[in-house]
């Protein structure tokens, strides 16, 4: 009975559909279906465009928008997240596959599916092991810098389609050099289609909604129609190519997209391919998870819902495994489409499953209509979408707020642009951690005194406080651990070297959250050195967990001074009576 109960709970933890599915009814159904229709319309051009960005055949984008959505509907916890191919992950997929140096289209497609599979397994395992916290080591500024730099890379990579030329590269320098040195001549008709589409899409973003509102349409409907702008561009430019035979005038088109449902595919299990793709898959997993979970959290907060980050890992893992076995490539939760899904009123993850049905119908029926779709139109869609990701204001904010964050964000941007997405994001994480460690290795130590009339102690350099030359109180503003143990020793020795009448030194430990063994040895050394100089060492405001641990060592037996519960107690006890 208990076992059965816990089995049920485990099932409900890993398959949230069992929870929300129970309350599913007609109202939620109709809301979900409406949202699904709108997201489907938005997702068709996006899926095709992002597949091309990833260097894959257009249909793989459609396939990646079917089964993965069903998997997320079963395993995901967000009620509004729309999963599928997204810009940054597509760019990272292109970089990962570019590293392999493949030219055979079948091998490229197999590598993309394998990448999705490895990433899916990683995400699922991380979810089961509850390793979601690892994503926290990507700091917000690093993510912001990475997204901005990726947006620039993506937009630049699409310029070749706008100009109708060939160009390659995974870094800004490679891309620009490739664009400048191409042997191809710009195709003026392609350029015209590209530029007009870009201008149209920007106008749709800014100008269409106010226009529709002025025609008396409801705000929500105006918003939805504005979001469908890319579909309008797709239809118009496809028709133009078809009617004016622009294909024979050099306009590159999407061409034959196979008609039918996604094929059943198997990832490769070649150990050498796995080891080549391992790091890329890890980076894609982490970036995809971070992007997805931040969207999901933002939307959940608006409806006072909760998402479970560790279960999100399982949901995204299942989606990627689903992508791998159905002809797709790495997917994650996308920002723009999730907002549309939310605004369109999606109530449950079932909306995603209905979207999958919509895309499935498109794959079955609409693909012949996509034959004449110009690649320049898709490139224009991508450029307009990703330029909204580019935001350099993070640089000025970071500069003003914290030079450490500024260093991390600017290094991330420069390295992503200069050396590619994988180096960029890895460097961002390492720089964040390195600077954090560097900072904690040289902690802030303040000499404090009593604020008159209170029991409160503040920095003698910043406040008017009472002090006495025989009593020095040092507030250590950091946990004491191996990286700063030597620093503390040097600091105390320097302090006592310059002042003779010191009789008591108090280390105020209100900000010391840990004392590890290295720091304990340093404290013992300080105690010994001060003892030789006939100075007593005291501690005050030692926290409970830290005190528990000190009591298990010999430090307290050898300590020349006392441990005071509060700094005020220490001050009262040690202040010279004869003054």
Instruction: Please give the residue ranges that form the binding site for a copy of itself (CB under 8 A).
Output: 133, 136-142, 301, 397-398, 400-402, 404-405, 432-433, 436-437, 439-444, 446, 451, 454-456, 458-459, 462, 477-479, 481-487, 510-514, 516-518, 520-521, 525, 529, 543-545, 549, 552-553, 565-566, 568
Among residues 541, 500, 507, 544, the alpha carbon closest in space to that of 522 is found at: 507
Contact 285, 123 (CB under 8 A): yes
**Beta carbon nearer to a copy of itself, 301 or 365:** 301
Task: Give the shortest CB-4-to-a copy of itself separation in angstroms.
Answer: 29
Task: Give the shortest CB-524-to-a copy of itself separation in angstroms.
Answer: 11
Task: Give the shortest CB-532-to-a copy of itself separation in angstroms.
Answer: 9
Contact 506, 540 (CB under 8 A): yes
Task: Give the shortest CB-446-to-a copy of itself separation in angstroms.
Answer: 7
**Beta carbon nearer to a copy of itself, 171 or 285:** 285
**Beta carbon nearer to a copy of itself, 443 or 449:** 443
271-302 helix and 105-128 helix, angle to the nearest 10 degrees:
60
d(CA 225, CA 212): 9
374: DSSP letter: B
**Beta carbon nearer to a copy of itself, 171 or 479:** 479
Task: Give the shortest CB-400-to-a copy of itself separation in angstroms.
Answer: 5
Contact 267, 324 (CB under 8 A): yes
d(CA 419, CA 416): 6
Task: Give the shortest CB-27-to-a copy of itself separation in angstroms.
Answer: 25
Contact 154, 95 (CB under 8 A): no
Map 428-487 to HEC letters: HHHHHHHHHHHHHHCCCEEEEEECCCCCCEEECCCCCCECECCEEEEEECCCECHHHHHH
Contact 44, 373 (CB under 8 A): no
Question: Between the CA of residue 3 and those of 7, 9, 36, 163, 203, what are the distances in Å?
Answer: 6, 10, 38, 64, 60
DSSP, collapsed to helix, strand or coil, labels residue 537 as: strand
Among residues 66, 32, 85, 47, the alpha carbon closest in space to that of 344 is found at: 32
**Beta carbon nearer to a copy of itself, 241 or 512:** 512
Contact 479, 504 (CB under 8 A): no
**Beta carbon nearer to a copy of itself, 140 or 177:** 140
Task: Give the shortest CB-330-to-a copy of itself separation in angstroms.
Answer: 24
φ, ψ for residue 225 (rounded to 5)? -65, -40
**Beta carbon nearer to a copy of itself, 19 or 186:** 19
**Beta carbon nearer to a copy of itself, 13 or 205:** 13
Task: Give the shortest CB-313-to-a copy of itself separation in angstroms.
Answer: 14
Task: Give the shortest CB-477-to-a copy of itself separation in angstroms.
Answer: 4
Question: Between the CA of residue 73 and those of 78, 80, 116, 313, 577, what are the distances in Å?
Answer: 9, 10, 18, 13, 73
**Beta carbon nearer to a copy of itself, 43 or 448:** 448
- Which residues are CB-neighbours of 183 under 8 A, at least 6 positions away? 166
d(CA 424, CA 393): 19
Task: Give the shortest CB-479-to-a copy of itself separation in angstroms.
Answer: 7
For the chain, the helix, strand and coil percentages under 3-state DSSP, each to the nearest 5 = 65, 5, 25
**Beta carbon nearer to a copy of itself, 77 or 367:** 77
**Beta carbon nearer to a copy of itself, 93 or 432:** 432
């Amino acid at each position: 009975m208990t076992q059965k109960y816990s089995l049920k709970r485990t099932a409900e933890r890993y398959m949230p559909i069992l929870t929300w599915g129970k309350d599913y009814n007609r109202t939620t159904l109709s809301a979900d279906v409406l949202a699904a229709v709108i997201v489907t319309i938005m997702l068709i051009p996006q899926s095709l465009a992002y597949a091309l960005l990833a260097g894959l055949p257009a249909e793989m984008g459609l396939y990646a928008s079917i089964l993965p959505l069903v998997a997320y509907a079963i395993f995901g916890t967000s009620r509004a997240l729309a999963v599928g191919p997204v810009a940054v992950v597509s760019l990272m997929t292109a970089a990962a596959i570019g590293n392999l140096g493949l030219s055979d289209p079948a091998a490229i497609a197999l590598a993309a599916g394998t990448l999705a599979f490895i990433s899916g397994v990683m995400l699922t395992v991380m979810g089961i092991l509850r390793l979601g916290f690892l994503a926290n080591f990507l700091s917000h500024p690093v993510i912001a810098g990475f997204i901005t730099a990726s947006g620039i890379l993506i937009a630049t990579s699409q310029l070749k389609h706008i100009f109708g030329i060939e160009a390659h590269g995974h870094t800004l320098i490679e891309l620009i050099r490739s664009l400048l040195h191409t042997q191809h001549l710009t195709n003026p008709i392609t350029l015209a289609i590209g530029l007009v589409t870009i201008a149209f899409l920007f106008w749709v973003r800014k100008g269409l909604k106010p226009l529709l509102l002025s025609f008396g349409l409801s705000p929500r409907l105006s918003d939805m129609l504005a979001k469908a702008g890319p579909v309008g561009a797709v239809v118009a430019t496809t028709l133009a190519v078809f009617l004016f035979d622009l294909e024979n005038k050099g306009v590159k088109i999407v061409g034959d997209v196979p008609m039918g449902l996604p094929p059943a595919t198997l990832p490769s299990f070649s150990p050498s391919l796995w080891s080549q793709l391992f790091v890329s898959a890890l980076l894609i997993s982490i970036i995809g998870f971070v992007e997805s979970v931040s969207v999901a959290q933002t939307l959940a907060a608006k409806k006072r819902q909760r998402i479970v980050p560790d279960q999100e890992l399982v949901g995204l893992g299942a989606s990627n495994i689903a992508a791998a076995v159905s002809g797709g490539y790495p997917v994650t939760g996308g920002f723009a489409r999730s907002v549309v899904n939310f605004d369109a009123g999606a109530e449950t993850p079932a909306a995603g499953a209905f979207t999958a049905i919509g895309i499935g119908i498109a794959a079955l029926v609409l693909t012949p209509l996509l034959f004449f779709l110009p690649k320049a139109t898709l490139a224009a869609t991508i450029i307009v979408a990703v330029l909204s990701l580019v935001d350099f204001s993070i640089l000025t904010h970071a500069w003003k707020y914290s030079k450490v964050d500024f260093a991390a964000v600017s290094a991330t941007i420069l390295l992503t642009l200069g050396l590619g997405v994988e180096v960029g994001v890895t460097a961002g994480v390492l720089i964040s951690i390195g600077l954090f460690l560097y900072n904690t290795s040289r902690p802030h130590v303040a000499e404090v005194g009593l604020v008159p009339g209170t029991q409160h102690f503040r920095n003698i350099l910043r406040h008017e406080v009472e002090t006495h030359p025989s009593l020095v109180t040092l507030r250590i503003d950091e946990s004491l651990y191996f990286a700063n143990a030597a620093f503390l020793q040097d600091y105390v020795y320097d302090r006592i070297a310059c002042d003779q009448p010191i009789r008591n030194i108090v280390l105020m430990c209100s900000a010391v959250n840990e004392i590890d063994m290295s720091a304990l040895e340093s404290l013992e050394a300080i105690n010994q050195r001060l003892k030789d100089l006939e100075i007593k060492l005291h501690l005050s405001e030692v926290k409970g967990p830290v005190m528990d641990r000190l009591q298990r060592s010999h430090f307290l037996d050898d300590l020349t001074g006392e441990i005071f519960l509060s700094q005020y107690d220490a001050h009262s006890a040690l202040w010279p009576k004869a003054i």
